[in-house]
C-alpha cells in the first residue's frame, strides 16, 4: 500500500477496500487510514463465513491430504487449507461482496507485493477508454501437476455449454494453440472490470470448475479460473499486458525499460522461457472452441 500510495494514489485519490475472513484490529485500521491520507477513503469488510469453508461437495479429508502433500513436496508454495478457501473466494465470489457493489473496476493489491516504477498515467482510465476487461503484469505457465485435469474440464465445459463460448470472440489461441500450454495471468496484480466476473458466462464457468473440485483436489487457483475465463470469453483486444508497470511479487517481477523505475529489466519475468506475457501479443487469437 505504501508503494501504491507513493507512486500512484497520492495524485489520483482512489478509495481502498480491505476484505478479510477475520475482524481487523483497531490498530491495523488506524495505520491503514493514516497511510491512505485524508483524501482517500478506506473501507473494511468481513467476508461471509459461508464463503470461507469447504463447499458441501468437497471431501475435507481428501482436500487436507492434497494440501499437506503439496506443502511437503513444494516448500516454496503456500498450501494450507485456508489458502485453498482464499483462492476459491477470489475465483468468483469476491465480486458479490457488498462493499464492491458500487464499483465497476478493481485493482487488486496483494500483501507482500512491491511497485518499482512511478505511474505516469491512470491505468483505470486506460482500461475504460480502451474498453478493456482485464489487465495483468505477469503471466507464466502453471506447473503440470497443479492442473492435470484442467484441459479435460475445459473441454467438458465447452461440450456442455456450446452457446457460451463464441467461435469468433475468444482468445483460446493463446492458451490452446497449438496445444494446451497451461498459461495463466498471475492475479496478485490485476485490474479487472467486475462486470466480466459478474457476467453469466463467468459465473457459469466458475460454478462448473468449482463443482469439479480442482481447487481442493489439485491446485487450481483464482489465476487458473480467471485465465481460462479470459481465454474463453474475451477477445484479445479486451485484455492488456501492463508491461510498463514495475511490479514485484515473491521472486517474480515485471520491470520495464523506463527512467523512473528501480528494478533491473534484464531480470524481468517476461524474459523467462515459461513466460506467457509476450505470447499474449503474438499468439492470442480466436479459436474454434470445439478444437481444444
Contact present, 138 and 277 (Cβ < 8 Å): yes
| 8 A C-beta contact, residue 87 and residue 221 | yes
Q: Per-residue pLDDT tens for 150-178? A: 999 999 999 999 999 999 999 999 999 78
Hey, where are the domains in the chain? 1-46, 58-291
Average pLDDT over residues 119-132: 96
Residue 142 cell numbers, joined: 502453471
Q: Backbone dihedral region of 8: left (phi > 0), alpha (psi from -120 to 50 degrees) or beta?
A: alpha
pLDDT at 78 (0 to 100): 60
pLDDT on residue 79? 64
Looking at domain 58-291, what is its CATH homologous superfamily? Spore Coat Polysaccharide Biosynthesis Protein SpsA; Chain A (3.90.550.10)
pTM, full prediction: 0.95
190 is catalytic: yes
Calculate the alpha carbon distances from 133 to 224, 273, 275 in Å.
17, 27, 21
Give the span between the Cα atoms of 277 and 114, in whole angstroms. Answer: 19
Catalytic residue from among 142, 190, 218, 243:
190
Q: What is the DSSP letter of 263?
A: S
Helix (H, G, I), strand (E, B) or coil at 280: helix
The predicted-structure confidence for 272-287, as pLDDT tens digits, reads as follows 999 999 888 777 789 9
Q: How is 99-148 classified by DSSP, letter by letter?
A: GGTT-SEEE---TT-EE-B--SS-HHHHHHHTT-SEEES-EEEPPGGGST
Query: Using an 8 Å Cβ cutoff, are 115 and 7 in contact?
Result: yes
Q: How far is CA 77 from its chain centroid?
A: 17
DSSP designation for 159: H
Which of 174, 165, 161, 140 has its CA nearest to residue 252? Answer: 140
**pLDDT 10s digits, 67-110:** 888 888 775 566 678 899 999 999 999 999 999 999 999 999 99
**Spatial distance between the Cα atoms of 51 and 230, rounded to a whole number of angstroms:** 23
Burial of 208 (0-12, 13-18, 19+ CB in 10 A): middle
Q: How far apart are CA 63 and CA 240, in angstroms?
A: 35
CA dist list (Å): 211 to 68, 197, 201, 216, 276: 21, 18, 16, 10, 28
Amino acid at each position: 500500500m505504501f508503494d501504491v500510495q507513493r507512486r500512484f494514489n497520492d495524485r489520483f485519490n482512489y478509495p481502498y477496500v480491505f476484505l478479510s475472513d477475520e475482524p481487523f484490529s483497531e490498530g491495523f485500521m488506524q495505520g491503514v487510514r493514516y497511510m491512505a491520507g485524508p483524501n482517500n477513503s478506506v473501507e473494511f469488510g468481513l467476508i461471509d463465513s459461508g464463503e470461507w469453508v469447504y463447499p458441501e461437495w468437497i471431501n475435507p479429508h481428501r482436500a487436507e491430504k492434497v494440501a499437506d502433500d503439496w506443502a511437503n513436496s513444494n516448500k516454496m508454495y503456500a498450501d494450507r487449507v485456508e489458502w485453498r478457501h482464499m483462492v476459491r473466494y477470489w475465483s468468483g465470489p469476491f465480486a458479490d461482496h457488498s462493499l464492491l457493489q458500487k464499483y465497476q473496476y478493481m485493482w487488486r493489491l496483494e500483501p507482500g507485493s512491491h511497485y518499482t516504477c512511478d505511474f505516469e498515467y491512470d491505468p483505470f482510465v486506460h482500461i475504460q477508454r480502451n474498453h478493456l476487461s482485464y489487465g495483468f503484469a505477469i503471466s507464466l505457465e502453471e506447473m503440470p501437476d497443479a492442473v492435470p485435469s484442467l484441459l479435460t474440464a475445459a473441454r467438458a465445459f465447452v461440450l456442455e455449454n456450446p452457446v457460451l463460448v463464441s467461435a469468433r470472440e475468444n482468445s483460446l489461441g493463446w492458451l490452446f494453440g497449438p496445444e494446451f500450454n497451461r498459461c495463466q495471468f498471475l492475479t496478485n496484480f490485476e485490474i479487472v472490470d467486475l462486470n466480466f466476473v459478474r457476467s453469466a458466462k463467468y459465473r457459469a464457468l466458475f460454478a462448473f470448475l468449482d463443482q469439479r473440485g480442482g481447487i481442493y483436489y489439485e491446485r487450481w487457483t483464482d489465476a487458473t479460473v480467471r485465465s481460462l475465463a479470459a481465454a474463453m470469453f474475451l477477445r484479445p483486444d479486451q485484455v492488456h499486458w501492463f508491461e510498463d508497470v514495475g511490479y514485484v511479487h515473491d521472486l517474480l517481477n515485471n520491470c520495464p525499460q523506463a527512467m523512473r523505475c528501480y528494478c533491473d529489466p534484464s531480470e524481468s519475468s517476461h524474459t523467462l522461457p515459461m513466460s506467457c506475457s509476450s505470447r499474449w501479443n503474438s499468439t492470442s487469437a480466436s479459436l474454434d472452441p470445439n478444437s481444444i
